[in-house]
Amino acid sequence: MAHWCHPWVVLEALMGTGLAASAGLNAYIPLLLVGVLARFTDVITLPESWQWIENPWMLGIFGVLLTIEFFADKIPVVDHVNDFVQTVVRPTSGGIMFGASSGSQTAVITDPANYFESKQWVPVVVGIAISLCVHLMKAGFRAAVNSLTLGFGAPVVSVAEDTVSIGMALSAILAPLLVILFLIVLILVFWWAMRRRKRRKAAKLAAARGY
């Protein structure tokens, strides 16, 4: 029981959650960020089984995919197609990120608890679930924004999502406790957008009925 109450366990869980949630917004930002930091700095040291993420070839692939994602996600209609494709990619990335963060050493986590050591598949499944939830929220939020702005808000919102993804990934590595704040903000923004969309649909329906 004491093992699960260890502060490193909490920090590891928050780091994994933050990276997985970041992947839910953009699959390639946390992968590329973690890979670059692990290869060129001492900010994060990946477990041996996940060190392929920092391989130069993998970093190049992540960079190309991130570039494609960056532009595809900012074009109305195309962003919906992209979100459909990313329904598989983003949760996969989230699973990888949570799995890699389990047992990783960072400037904050200097004594990894390895709380998933006996069941290596568990953090991957947890990461997939977290990333999928955030991805679905993102897709729903984007649909609401496109509906409210006739698609013109897509590029602005996409840039904001990329910025949040970067910020959450960095916070997960450098200051895991901030992940809680990011998640609260994401939930509140999603809730606000859904309420606005629901009210607009109700107003259109009332107008069509002549009320």
> What is the residue range of 189's domain?
7-208
| Contact call for residues 96 and 58 (beta carbons, < 8 A) | no
- How many angstroms separate the CA atoms of 14 and 193, rounded? 26
pLDDT of residue 80: 79
Nearest residue to 113 via CA among 170, 47, 174: 47
Q: What are phi and psi of 57, to 5 degrees?
A: -65, -40
Nearest residue to 68 via CA among 81, 56, 57, 55: 81
pLDDT of residue 94: 93
- The answer to whether residue 132 sits within a structural domain is yes
- The answer to whether residue 96 sits within a structural domain is yes
- How many angstroms separate the CA atoms of 119 and 133, rounded? 23
- The answer to whether residue 61 sits within a structural domain is yes
Residues of the chain with pLDDT under 50: 1-2, 4
Who's near 105: CB < 8 A, 6+ residues apart?
44, 45, 111, 112
119 DSSP assignment: -
- The answer to whether residue 2 sits within a structural domain is no
| Contact call for residues 144 and 59 (beta carbons, < 8 A) | no
pLDDT of residue 165: 95
- The answer to whether residue 147 sits within a structural domain is yes
- The answer to whether residue 119 sits within a structural domain is yes
pLDDT of residue 1: 41
- The answer to whether residue 175 sits within a structural domain is yes
Q: What is the pTM of this model?
A: 0.86
- The answer to whether residue 1 sits within a structural domain is no
Per-residue pLDDT tens digits for 169-208: 999 999 999 999 999 998 998 888 788 777 777 766 666 6
Count of domains in the chain?
A: 1
Nearest residue to 163 via CA among 80, 70, 90: 70
